[in-house]
Amino acid sequence: MKKILMAMILMFSMNSFAQVALEMSTATSLSPFATATRFLEYGSVTTLAPFALTIATAQSRGVAGKEQIKDELVELNEDMIAGRVTTIEEVRQPTLRELFEEIAADEEQMNNIKSALQMDTELKTISTAVTIAMLIE
């Protein structure tokens, strides 16, 4: 069991490294997972304080809601990489779209997130913040 777990971790690590290398070479980040991972790995996010409200918002969904968010983040990540989704309104996953709209409507939460993440679109900013919140949970 340990060997399988280690193999899975290694595969995910290699995939993350490959995505980060690709992003660094193209200077374009389409994947909120890769962006969040890069921020956490390289210490770009030195404190989690800006994400406290985002973490609380996700936590308020309960265990089943958080699992739904995690499942939908995988699908959204693929949609964003493929270029099918560029705005919150285009997000096909209903739980994520509702969560993103709630976060976008909260000015304090958005200001906190933007203090730590400088992204070129609101969708990338919020999806990266939610991904960070789910990764550190």
- Segment 77-110, tens digit of pLDDT: 999 999 999 999 999 999 999 999 999 999 999 9
Instruction: Give CA–CA dist 127/117, Å, rounded.
Output: 11
Contact 115, 102 (CB under 8 A): no
CA torsion 52-33-92-89 (nearest 10°) is 60
pLDDT tier, 68 (very low <50, low <70, confident <90, very high otherwise): very high
* pTM: predicted TM-score of the whole model, two decimal places: 0.72
Over range 8-32, report the average pLDDT.
Answer: 53
Q: How far apart are CA 109 and CA 68, in angstroms?
A: 22
- C-alpha torsion sign, points 120, 125, 131, 135: positive
In this predicted model, what pLDDT tens digit does every residue of 28-41 receive, in sequence order?
Answer: 456 888 888 777 77
pLDDT at residue 31 in the model: 82
Element spanning 33, H or E: helix 32-41
The residue with greater pLDDT, 52 or 9, is 52
Rounded to whole angstroms, how far apart are CA atoms 96 and 54? 13
pLDDT value at residue 10: 53
- Dihedral of CA atoms 26, 103, 37, 14 in degrees, nearest 10, equals -80
Output DSSP code: residue 91. -
> Average model confidence (pLDDT) for the chain?
81
Q: In which band, very low, low, confident or very high, does the pLDDT at 2 lie, cut at 50, 70 and 90?
A: low
Q: Report residue 26's pLDDT band, with 50, 70 and 90 as the boundaries.
A: very low
How far apart are alpha carbons 35 and 117 in whole angstroms?
10
User: How far is Cα 134 from Cα 137, in angstroms, rounded to an integer?
Assistant: 5
